[in-house]
Amino acid sequence: MSILFEIDGAVATITLNRPEKFNAATPAMSKAIVEATQECDRNDDVRCVIITGAGPKAFCAGSDVEALDDYATPWDFRNRVDYCDAIHKLRKPSIAAVNGHALGGGLETALSCDIRIASSNAKFAAPEIKLGWIGGGGMAAFLAHSIGASNAALMLMTGDPIDAQRALGWGLVSEVVEPDALMARARQLAQTIAARAPIAAETAKRNLTAAFSMPLEEAMAYERDLQTICFATQDALEGRAAFKEKRAPVFRRK
């Protein structure tokens, strides 16, 4: 199977499962990722999604270069099913647990997630320029927002990798942990998010997207509207009641 997909309570995990090929993505894997993300959004029990790679060496090496010649024309390539788009469009909060090399589309996959944590042996690179092209899954936009224009230019124009500690210093990832602690930390973080009000969590995700694409005044007004929508939910009523009663809230996505 090109991916492994499991749901444990409120947390779904999508594992890219071609470790012998550094989890490089094929059209079949892209299709499977799209289907898994759609199931996560359909399933109201799922409140957070973890993306990771199988094996100790790679999160994802991007598209399988050997499969790129299977596209009949550049236009077919342009209109391919894209795994990064599917992850970026997830309605549910997402966490990339980067367990090794994240290269090209693998870096874009991590950048498409809301939160990124990495193992200490992780490497990040945008190596497409070494093969004669550039990334096409939001690479430049995501990197510029994450690490700034100069650092993004360095990665995009050299194609050379950075290690996990530099990625942490640049803000590309939020945490670096030892490899054997990565998935436990990812699940702990996912469970924390899953325990929060799900409508509010999904709205916060939408609000962050707006913050990057709207002028400041419009983004602030939009945030106020989103806050009002959340405030009107039964979950918000439950949150206020739980606060008054000094107990943990029970959120029901209502």
- Please list the active-site residues: 108, 128
Residue 2 DSSP class: -
Q: Which residue's structure tokens are 């009663």?
A: 245
Residue 129, judged by CB atoms within 10 A of its CB (0-12, 13-18, 19+), counts as middle
**Strand 115-119 to strand 175-177: parallel, antiparallel, or no bridges (unpaired)?**
parallel
3 state DSSP class of 119: strand
**Of 67, 64, 54, 59, residue with least CA distance to 18:** 54
Calpha distance 214→19 (Å, rounded): 40
Cα separation of 193 and 222, whole Å? 23
Element (H, E) at 51: strand 48-53
Pairing of strands 115-119, 162-163: unpaired
Alpha-carbon span 251 to 196, nearest angstrom: 7
Tell me if residue 139 falls in helix, strand or coil: helix
